[in-house]
Amino acid sequence: MYQYRRRLTREVAFGDMFLGGYQPIRVESMTNTHTMDTAATVVQCRKLYEAGCEIIRLTVPTEKDAENLRNIRDQLRRDGIDTPLVADIHFSARAALKALEFVENIRINPGNYATQQKFSSSDYTAEEYLKELEHVREAFTPLVEKARHYGVSMRIGTNHGSLSDRIVSRYGNSPEGMVEAALEFARICEELGYHDILFSMKSSNVRVMIQSYRLLVEKGDAELRYAYPLHLGVTEAGDGDEGRVKSAMGIGALLEDGLGDTIRVSLTEDPVNEVPVGFAIVKKYNDFHLVQGDRGHVPLKHLVESRNKQATQKLTPHQLPPFDPFSYKRRVTSPITLAEIAVGGDNLPRVETEVSISLSARDAIFEEVVQRLALQKPKDAIRSEFVSVRLNDAAELDALDALLCKLGDAGRSLVVSTGDISLFSRLLNKVSKVRLDIIEGEMLGKDFLKDLDNNRLAAVELCFIHEHAGIAAPAAVLAHIAEKLHKRGVERLLFSVMTNQTVFAYRRVVQAFNSRSLTYPLMVRYSGRASGRLEGLVDSSIQAGTLFCDGIGDLLALHTALSFEDEVNLAFNILQGARVRMTKTEFISCPGCGRTYFELEKAVTAIKERTAHLKGLKIGIMGCIVNGPGEMADADFGYVGAGKNRISLYVGRECVEENISELDAVDRLIGLIRERGKWVDAN
């Protein structure tokens, strides 16, 4: 939890390729063509191969599709494309048995493979439950035997929202249920002596996804013979920046924990677009292993020994995570007020951005602040709620006064930062928040304490500027100062670290604060200069998003090379992705696959255009009726493919309009939202 270390897993073969162990974290994608359409599927596989995709998955709804995998595989191999293929199976055991003759890996969904009996309530006997489990074993065993015979590995891929009703009736639609569903199948594999397995635990809710994978590792590693590899992914992440942010947050949070051996970014876009996002996510972690020189195959003996060692190791209180890794609970903080806005406590996390223009460029900085605060825009426009400017020397104080005067009331949202302690006291009675930078842990003198005693107006943020010091330094220094100020009764304080190792730095700060019962709010700052827009978006989402998913953070500021608009949108996307602050409609849309028979991407665009302003509403847009209704999970309204150019509409889990024409469906969806009283006009 406090420094990067990858979990050592058993290596699993995908044909000639291995994943897990010391192998690089692989990047996968999935075709969205119909698997019976050999030509289109081969073309898309070739595009994915050319984009660098390392594993390609294809949907296999029927035995006929399974049979056609032979043609697709043969054509690809003739073309010199040797990328491992994965057959994606839901429901059909017959399709699974046929498909594994032509692929390197097979994915089954424990939620719908070999399920027989309906368990609609908890009203069943233990005997009935066991009988159903016995049926699962009987139906699953031939697949395991055949997979072993063909040397095909298997992913036990659980999805939140498509659990069997037997599991839901006992465990609920929860991480516990997802984990138990996977373990039931894994136990059968192990009993049959088949160990070429890996797991996934996907959800469109990033927090549920993170918690489920962690729980699986906790339970699976304690019970199973080996630590098996993990395939990571956020399902139904959507498209555009939102889809990329959600995927990076969920996958990245687990990679930071050292979990994950292969990933898929699911976007409702051309699958080729998923590949660069995947590589942007895994790059840092794969580079880390290159530097460490970890390569080659992991001997099984080594794997068992390392697991046994881990199992007997008792964690000291300092090694325990400073939050519950398996369920969400926001860190308890004492709220403070900034410019009449309460932050910390149960209040919504706020967004701040930093202006890099010098205060002496008076007109330019005024214009910039006006833009960032969106002073001339409608009230509900996306804006930076606080804007910080930099005071470098006393000569700029006049310019600061002039700026505050020109801003009038809006000047309350201005934050001034300085690294000069001699300027600090002169700022305290001018603005509502002052940020004092502590450069690499320099100590603050007695004058500073006196200044704080005399401070009446400003909240003070103490920010550790982390550059060369070890990652433990910010926590040690900030906790020391915070404790001292707490004893002195100073309340209107918040703390931060300016770093690109945000996850580990802040976890350490929280750990240090918790151990001293300090409840000051934390301003999450991420500072990175990534090489491109995508890299900046991905790294910010991982570093800041992980913390908010674990309940850490009361304000957010990103310091990136992105434009201001991008940066603010990214900050709000991160907060929305972590479900800690909803500022727009939440779209849960699947990437589509061979089960999709309508224009999914077009539908997503049309629905987004008309409903993106419905703050807090969740709309699921799903490619098929087979998996869509379950996997759109907690959506308020659903738009689900029901057949060729036909759509079914849902309110919650209830189908209210069945099989209507694609041409009318978006209008009907809007009608439904109106009828249910959830519509507001766009401003």
| CB contact at 8 A, 657 and 614 | no
Contact between 595 and ligand SF4 by CB under 6 A: the answer reads: yes
Q: Give Cα 71 distance to the centre of its chain.
A: 36
Least gap, CB of 90 to ligand SF4 (angstroms): 6
Q: What is the DSSP letter of 396?
A: G
Contact between 624 and ligand SF4 by CB under 6 A: the answer reads: yes
For ligand SF4, which residue of 578, 593, 614, 649 counts as binding (CB under 6 A)? 593
Q: Which stretch in 8-16, 133-141, 450-458, 616-624 sits in contact with ligand SF4 by CB under 6 A?
A: 616-624
Q: Which stretch in 66-74, 95-103, 370-378, 591-599 sits in contact with ligand SF4 by CB under 6 A?
A: 591-599
User: In terms of Cα–Cα distance, which of 612, 549, 555, 554 is closest to 583?
Assistant: 612
Token readout for 44 is 């898309």
Q: Phi/psi of residue 9, each to 5°? A: -125, 165
Cα–Cα distance, 551 to 558 (Å, whole number): 18
Contact between 592 and ligand SF4 by CB under 6 A: the answer reads: yes
Contact between 591 and ligand SF4 by CB under 6 A: the answer reads: yes
Contact between 577 and ligand SF4 by CB under 6 A: the answer reads: no
Least gap, CB of 88 to ligand SF4 (angstroms): 8
For ligand SF4, which residue of 188, 298, 590, 673 counts as binding (CB under 6 A)? 590
Contact between 596 and ligand SF4 by CB under 6 A: the answer reads: yes
Token readout for 309 is 């060692």
Least gap, CB of 623 to ligand SF4 (angstroms): 3
| CB contact at 8 A, 167 and 180 | yes
Alpha-helical (H) ranges within 224-361 are 240-256, 274-292, 300-312
Bridge pairing between strands 350-354 and 341-343: unpaired
Q: With respect to ligand SF4, which residue has the nearer C-beta, 263 or 416?
A: 263
Q: With respect to ligand SF4, which residue has the nearer C-beta, 10 or 155?
A: 155
Least gap, CB of 59 to ligand SF4 (angstroms): 6
Cα–Cα distance, 634 to 618 (Å, whole number): 8
Least gap, CB of 555 to ligand SF4 (angstroms): 36
Residues 433-492 that bind ligand SF4 (CB under 6 A): none
Query: How far separated are the first and last CA of the chain, in Å rounded?
Result: 44
Q: What is the DSSP letter of 335?
A: -
Residue 61: strand, helix, or coil: coil
Contact between 628 and ligand SF4 by CB under 6 A: the answer reads: yes
Least gap, CB of 306 to ligand SF4 (angstroms): 36
Query: Sheet containing 618-622: which strands, arranged edge to edge?
Result: 586-589, 618-622, 637-643, 646-651, 654-661
Max Cα–Cα distance, the chain, nearest Å: 82
Contact between 574 and ligand SF4 by CB under 6 A: the answer reads: no
Q: Which stretch in 196-204, 317-325, 468-476, 624-632 sits in contact with ligand SF4 by CB under 6 A?
A: 624-632
User: How many residues sit close enough to ligand SF4 to count as binding (CB under 6 A)?
Assistant: 14
Token readout for 277 is 């996002």
| CB contact at 8 A, 160 and 204 | yes
Residues 27-86 that bind ligand SF4 (CB under 6 A): 59
Contact between 202 and ligand SF4 by CB under 6 A: the answer reads: no
User: In terms of Cα–Cα distance, which of 28, 134, 142 is closest to 88?
Assistant: 28
Q: With respect to ligand SF4, which residue has the nearer C-beta, 166 or 595?
A: 595
Contact between 553 and ligand SF4 by CB under 6 A: the answer reads: no
Least gap, CB of 671 to ligand SF4 (angstroms): 24
Binding site for ligand SF4 (CB under 6 A): 59, 590-593, 595-596, 622-624, 626-628, 631
